[in-house]
Amino acid sequence: MIILTVVCLPVMPLTWFFIKEEKHEGMVFSKYISELWDLVQTRPMYQVIAYKFFSGIFENFTITSSSAMQAYWAGVTPLNDKILSIIGNGIFAITLYCTGKYGLHWNWRWMHATMIVAVIVPDAIVTFLTTWGVIRNQWFWLGVPVVENLPSGMAFVIGTYVVVELAGEGNEGAVYGLVGSVSNLAIPFASTITKNVDGAFDVANKDIASDTNHVRWEVTYILIIRYAMNLVGLLFLPLLPKQKAETNELKRNGGSSRILGFVTLAYFAFALVWSTMVNIMSIYPSTSCLRIVGGTGC
């Protein structure tokens, strides 16, 4: 920790002396909230927010036994895991650059659908083969996540394109913050649903370690549920504009709706409260056993 602190110290004076910013008049909070509320009521915003949130829930639905399968069945060592993660991040960065340079005019819907399928198919092959003991090798297990950084990077760029086109002059930060918050909230909300579903199956660490035929079938069931949920996320693709021209058309002629604005804030607030509550309850032994947080029951 001391070494890391010493390395970071030069950043402070460099930031103070070399970053120059123009001074702007501070935003009045009440005015900012009013503008944000007006923004949420517009069709482009509540439509894209709905897409990012609901598709994000299904696409981030996963399984709780992944780390145990990696350790007990694939025999992955922490060092090799980190090395492949670094390589994967490099592929992700290269994908961002190439997509930004050559993919500006690609159809966003087709791109996203293709990327989802491109992630699911190899992941399913590796996971099922590992589950049933056909191939249990750490490099076989780790190789697919590295390759998956390619479609994941493209999907990330698509989401960024949408935000760029939605933002108008002066509200760039509000648009990015709002859409980004909704996208990020879908991840822990999907995690709580994953815990609830997987809690009904025998896929705890001790079960994975036993590696019985019963456990393999239990893992197979949750894998089928997982990939089915991931594919269901594609049903929300019509909410995503095809390209920037369609996004701009929505901004010009989409209109607004106070009711749908309220609905948007309602499911956003519910997801935030639910995710926070479930994650806090999972910390304490007295409540972590509840089925609502993925336990087996108290």
> Could you read off the pLDDT of 253-292 as tens digits, one per residue?
888 889 999 999 999 999 999 989 888 888 878 887 777 7
The pLDDT value given to residue 156: 80
Most confident of 26-30, 57-61, 101-105: 57-61
- Distance, in Å, from the CA atom of 250 to the CA atom of 97, rounded to the nearest integer, reads 28
Q: How confident is the model at residue 111 (pLDDT cuts 50, 70, 90)?
A: confident
- Distance, in Å, from the CA atom of 163 to the CA atom of 156, rounded to the nearest integer, reads 11
Q: Does residue 170 register a pLDDT over 70?
A: no
Task: Give, as one character, the DSSP assignment of residue 134.
Answer: S
The pLDDT value given to residue 169: 67
Mean pLDDT of 9-25: 78
Mean pLDDT of 44-59: 91
- Distance, in Å, from the CA atom of 226 to the CA atom of 234, rounded to the nearest integer, reads 14
CATH topology of domain 35-293: Growth Hormone; Chain: A; (1.20.1250)
Q: How many helical (H) and strand (E) elements, i.e. helices and strands, does the chain have?
A: 14, 0
Q: Does residue 215 register a pLDDT over 80?
A: yes
CA–CA distances in Å: residue 243 to residues 111, 153, 235: 11, 18, 18
Q: Does residue 87 register a pLDDT over 70?
A: yes
- Distance, in Å, from the CA atom of 224 to the CA atom of 298, rounded to the nearest integer, reads 28
Most confident of 138-147, 177-186, 227-236: 227-236
The pLDDT value given to residue 181: 86
Check: CB of residue 256 under 8 Å from CB of residue 265: no
